[in-house]
């Protein structure tokens, strides 16, 4: 049999080494050692890591790359970011949003991202973001899975036209129901918004992904309501809570009740480590809280946790480069996930776990999966997080869609090696 592509001598995320991956008809047809066959293209992985694509389960593509428009966030605060977004929203055009989003998708693909769940602000009566991102979703479909969440940024009850706009957005084809209960005017109103939005999703057969308790308030209780409504409406496994930063500050006794409720509801959890560590604890003097939700405890309860990036170069966050390994790196540090198993898990949080949260089909490196994968300049998943290395080849449907040369420095020191390749510093490297 002739193949479209064979990737030779790969290390896989589960630690298997010397593996060959054969692709045909857009699918992986064999993953084994020593495949001998003809192929239109052969890539020598040279023992480096080949992984399924990165998956970003939480992003805001309608705002990305707008940094500096209409002006810079000089203070770097959330409040100035919110003010800036409300200045930009009325003046930006559909075409501008499309152009920025497509540029971001180019960058994301080059960094090995294969799927993104993006929230889109529906608190704009013209629904410019929705129109733009639906167009982008269709345009990028051959090379990137884009899933859209109807996000009532100003509150589904607090904003007078949000309910109507959200329904319109879903009718237009947005995939997932969003929410922001902690932004409603009262705790009761926030709880009612969770009920309203979960019922809407259940009626339409859609998934839910809410910004939930993105605060330092130890008494915020919307995660509890989200878990309750998920179970009541039979939405288990289809509902995600994004951020959940309040859980960092909650009373330990209360959390000992809450986490089992979340596990019962099969609630998915999406911390956004870069943004959470940047924005939380701002009202603290010292010590300052970290604000990342309780990742180790959630994992221990069997809850699926995936890390998201949230923002790249937008009114709220000036940094970011579509690197899910930056996200994993920050999540690892903030969560003190330093055991070998925990560090390897952080890689899972930006790949398989996030794919599960998005409900992606055919994701993985097994026979029968879609032939989507990334070759990294790293020897294994922990090394990938340490180095955040170049993505040497990005493969979609068995075809190379992006290449980046390896990063190798030439060294001009007498008596020392001529080159420094970061991979050679791996603990597994024969040169050490």
> Which of 121, 154, 209, 310 is close enough to bind Fe ion by CB under 5 A?
310
C-alpha 168, offset from chain centre: 26
56 binds Fe ion (CB under 5 A): no
E strands, 122-215, are 145-151, 176-177, 207-212
User: What is the total residue count of the chain?
Assistant: 432
Give residues 379-398 in contact with Fe ion (rule: CB under 5 A).
none
184 binds Fe ion (CB under 5 A): no
Can you tell me which residue has the tokens 């630690």? 15
Nearest distance from C-beta of residue 424 to Fe ion, angstroms: 39
Give every CB contact of residue 340 below 8 A, 6+ residues apart in sequence: 382
Q: d(Cα 167, Cα 157) in Å, to the nearest integer?
A: 13
213 binds Fe ion (CB under 5 A): no
Q: d(Cα 200, Cα 197) in Å, to the nearest integer?
A: 5
If the CB atoms of residues 39 and 312 are measured against Fe ion, the closer one turns out to be 312
Piece of the chain touching Fe ion by CB under 5 A; list 47-55, 167-175, 302-310, 416-424: 302-310
154 binds Fe ion (CB under 5 A): no
Nearest distance from C-beta of residue 229 to Fe ion, angstroms: 20
Nearest distance from C-beta of residue 209 to Fe ion, angstroms: 10
Piece of the chain touching Fe ion by CB under 5 A; list 86-94, 164-172, 230-238, 303-311: 303-311
Instruction: Please list the residues that pair with 147 across neighbouring strands.
Output: 117
Q: d(Cα 177, Cα 8) in Å, to the nearest integer?
A: 42
Contact criterion met (CB below 8 Å) for 343 and 332? yes
62 binds Fe ion (CB under 5 A): no
**Interface size with Fe ion, residues (CB under 5 A):** 1
Nearest distance from C-beta of residue 178 to Fe ion, angstroms: 9
323 binds Fe ion (CB under 5 A): no
Piece of the chain touching Fe ion by CB under 5 A; list 37-45, 110-118, 255-263, 304-312: 304-312
Contact criterion met (CB below 8 Å) for 12 and 379? no
Give residues 78-137 in contact with Fe ion (rule: CB under 5 A).
none
Residue 296's CB is within 10 A of a number of other CB atoms, namely 14
Write out the two tokens for 122: 């529906």
Reference 380, options 74, 47, 153, 22; nearest CA is 47
If the CB atoms of residues 3 and 59 are measured against Fe ion, the closer one turns out to be 59
Which segments of 218-306 does DSSP mark as H helices, in order?
222-232, 246-249, 252-264, 273-279, 295-300
Nearest distance from C-beta of residue 243 to Fe ion, angstroms: 7
Catalytic option among 214, 224, 229, 383: 214
Q: Which residue is nearest to Fe ion (CB)?
A: 310
Active site residue 38: no
Nearest distance from C-beta of residue 30 to Fe ion, angstroms: 40
Q: d(Cα 128, Cα 159) in Å, to the nearest integer?
A: 17
Nearest distance from C-beta of residue 161 to Fe ion, angstroms: 21
If the CB atoms of residues 310 and 380 are measured against Fe ion, the closer one turns out to be 310
Q: Given CA atoms 59, 14, 239, 131 in this order, what sign does their dihedral have? A: positive
Give every CB contact of residue 224 below 8 A, 6+ residues apart in sequence: 258, 261
Instruction: Spell 321-331 as b/e; 16+ CB within 10 A means b.
Output: ebbbbbbbbbb
Footprint of Fe ion (CB under 5 A): 310
Active-site residue set: 214
């Amino acid at each position: 049999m002739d193949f479209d592509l064979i990737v030779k001598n790969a290390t896989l995320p589960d630690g298997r080494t010397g593996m060959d991956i054969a692709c045909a008809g857009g699918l992986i047809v064999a993953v084994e050692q020593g495949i001998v066959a003809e192929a239109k293209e052969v890539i020598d992985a040279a023992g480096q890591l080949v992984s399924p694509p990165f998956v970003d389960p939480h992003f805001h593509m309608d705002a990305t790359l707008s940094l500096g428009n209409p002006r810079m966030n000089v203070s770097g605060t959330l409040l100035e970011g919110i003010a800036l977004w409300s200045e930009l929203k009325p003046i930006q055009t559909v075409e501008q949003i499309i152009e920025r989003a497509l540029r971001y998708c180019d960058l994301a693909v080059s960094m090995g991202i294969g799927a993104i769940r993006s929230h889109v602000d529906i608190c704009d009566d013209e629904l410019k973001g929705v129109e733009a991102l639906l167009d982008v979703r269709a345009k990028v479909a051959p090379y990137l899975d884009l899933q859209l969440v109807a996000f009532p940024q100003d509150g589904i009850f607090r904003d007078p036209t949000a309910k109507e706009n959200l329904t319109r957005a879903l009718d237009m084809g947005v995939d997932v129901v969003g929410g922001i209960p902690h932004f409603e005017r009262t705790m009761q109103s926030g709880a009612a918004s969770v009920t309203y939005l979960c019922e809407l999703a259940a009626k339409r057969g859609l998934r839910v992904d809410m910004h939930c308790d993105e605060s330092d308030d130890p008494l915020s209780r919307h995660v509890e309501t989200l878990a309750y409504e998920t179970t009541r409406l039979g939405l288990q496994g289809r509902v995600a809570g994004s951020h959940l930063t309040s859980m960092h500050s909650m009373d330990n006794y209360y959390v000992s009740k809450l986490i089992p409720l979340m596990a019962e509801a099969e609630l998915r959890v999406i911390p956004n480590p870069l943004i959470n560590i940047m924005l939380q604890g701002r009202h603290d003097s010292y010590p300052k809280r970290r604000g990342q939700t309780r990742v180790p405890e959630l994992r221990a309860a069997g809850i699926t946790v995936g890390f998201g990036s949230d923002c790249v170069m937008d009114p709220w966050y000036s940094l970011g480069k579509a690197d899910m390994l930056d996200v994993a790196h920050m999540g690892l540090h903030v969560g003190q996930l330093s055991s070998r198993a925990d560090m390897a898990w952080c890689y899972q949080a930006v790949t398989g776990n996030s794919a599960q949260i998005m409900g992606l089909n055919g994701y993985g490196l097994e026979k029968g999966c879609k032939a989507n994968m990334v070759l990294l300049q790293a020897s294994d998943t922990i090394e990938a997080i340490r180095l955040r290395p170049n993505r040497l080849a990005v493969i979609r449907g068995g075809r190379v869609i992006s290449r980046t040369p390896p990063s190798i420095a030439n060294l001009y020191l007498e008596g020392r090696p001529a080159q420094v390749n970061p991979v050679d510093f791996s603990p597994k490297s024969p040169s050490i």
